[in-house]
Structure 1
């Protein structure tokens, strides 16, 4: 219908579905909102617009001070009277069923149909009568064997799409708009209909599940008509694996164990990251020229800062000239490896410097049994410092006021035994940095 929005058309469709020529039309706004899958404010806005456009009218109904369901009259009814801005609610007729010949909002009285086919009871006129669901179409002798243009075959296939198999009906299909959904099914090409049917259960399985209420555990799916109109069945192949991965990641996060800085799991993960070795470090060909440029830039700001920078890199300063050692490139490579060559260990060090708290997969809990507390400043602590320097590893950050820091059991001499036990328990090989 031209001149009205899609939302208004849905509201008008459901009003017409609730209409009874004998008893009238009395749907409640919450029913219309649920049927149209919109909120009640949108229902009221649509009703007001439809009334202004002369397509519907209604009379408020009260019982004492309590409001009851409005009696709606529709534009196709004989004697329909448009709403006028001069109309006053006090002058509108009493709309109790059969109270007078104008109680239906029309200027003529309607008589029951002779065949009784239109004579619903007052209760059934409040909400539309639903057709019984047809049994799902079986693969053998299915509707696909019939011509794609056969309306009866399409209707059976659509009903099978609603019912599904293995007690898996489409969620809330009766409270949505099944006839509109059927029209979307008809509009699809034969190939699209087949994909919609074949991927139906995969789509529902990929949808998130309701966490509470009477439908707890049921899929929170789009309306069937939307699934068909937006061809959401074509997204299943791409979305389903992501949903599975997302659910697995959520489970991992829910089951994750804490990683306290300087604690046993922190120490075990850090040791494994160092044992995996450094990442490749690339040095520029003009390394010396770049060092001279950096020194001169720092010198313009502070002579002290520039000399400290050079001394840290083993570069001597002779007047205004820099004197590089013969093995400067090798020393610079080792420095850069220690400073940035162990990204996983550096991330754990940053966590410790920030006094943060990390999380790890539950399987890393085994590392707590493979590490021990070492008092800060003790002989074992200093042996660990010397071993890190020997291996060109970054040492643990300043522990501040902490009295102990965890390291693998047995001191540096027991590191080989720690690595063997840890990798066997975790099912890891050397170089499995992503697994850490």
Structure 2
């Protein structure tokens, strides 16, 4: 217990009785250096007769205002609370903010006549052993309201407004309840007003995109510190919306190979025509017709991509495939490398690229079989949606 710190808290103007009693109770835990404060929220609520929600809010306010410093976050284990220290310089500034007025007025405000006798309850003429004097002061504006007025004049948000916005955003983040609110609030205050507004507006889209990509969520404090919602603007990220890419570009070729890597579908195939059925009586013709039908109907998204090429319509490619495509090798359509890839397509029963006169192609570097296996390993488990 620090009588010195408690005394300063009693004299400081903290804006409300709830804030005052919290500051005094915290000072009761501190040493004379303001250190060693680690009561649980439940204990503070019980001993101050405030709700746990109010205790959490006031603690967050004190941290945001610099009055308290977080020394060690709570571990999450029962009974292990966050450890705080007071910032004695901040406490001293609280004292400097007070209007000092007529600090030499007597205890009861009465020096009677020429006798210099006081009417207060004192043991000498200075009153209360020189320790206490009555200070007549005008009402003092609460510190947060003063801060808010100053911030508003400068076009900035005050602490209360920032915390209110945090409390609206905080429950929207997945699994927030099992993480440190203090750590997240600290990073929230480190953002600019524009960044906080952007975070609030774009977090729902980030959450949806992450779930769609079957990704995992970092702690809220990390999300805020690294400004993860800005990944929505990076076309290479997992959560960015798919972007349109031209036919035969690296990204377009990567999407086409990714779709061919999926199992062939047997749904939606039209029945063979009467003429085809006649031809299929011959075994060789039957095998040829089956290959043609497989290539045409087995991968409908690839067929749709190829059909759009003549009109120079591209496809939407997700960020992860864009990253993989950066390692693709450029080759001429008439080159030996392109011929090797065409041969692989024929062996796999895949449709070859449409003949549009486009000279340059892109495929994974290396021999087609090994390169394709490596490519498939990289994109395994991803979802690739073509613009169909």
TM-score of Structure 1 vs Structure 2, range by shorter chain = 0.3 to 0.5
Q: TM-score when scaled to structure 2?
A: 0.40
Q: TM-score when scaled to structure 1?
A: 0.37
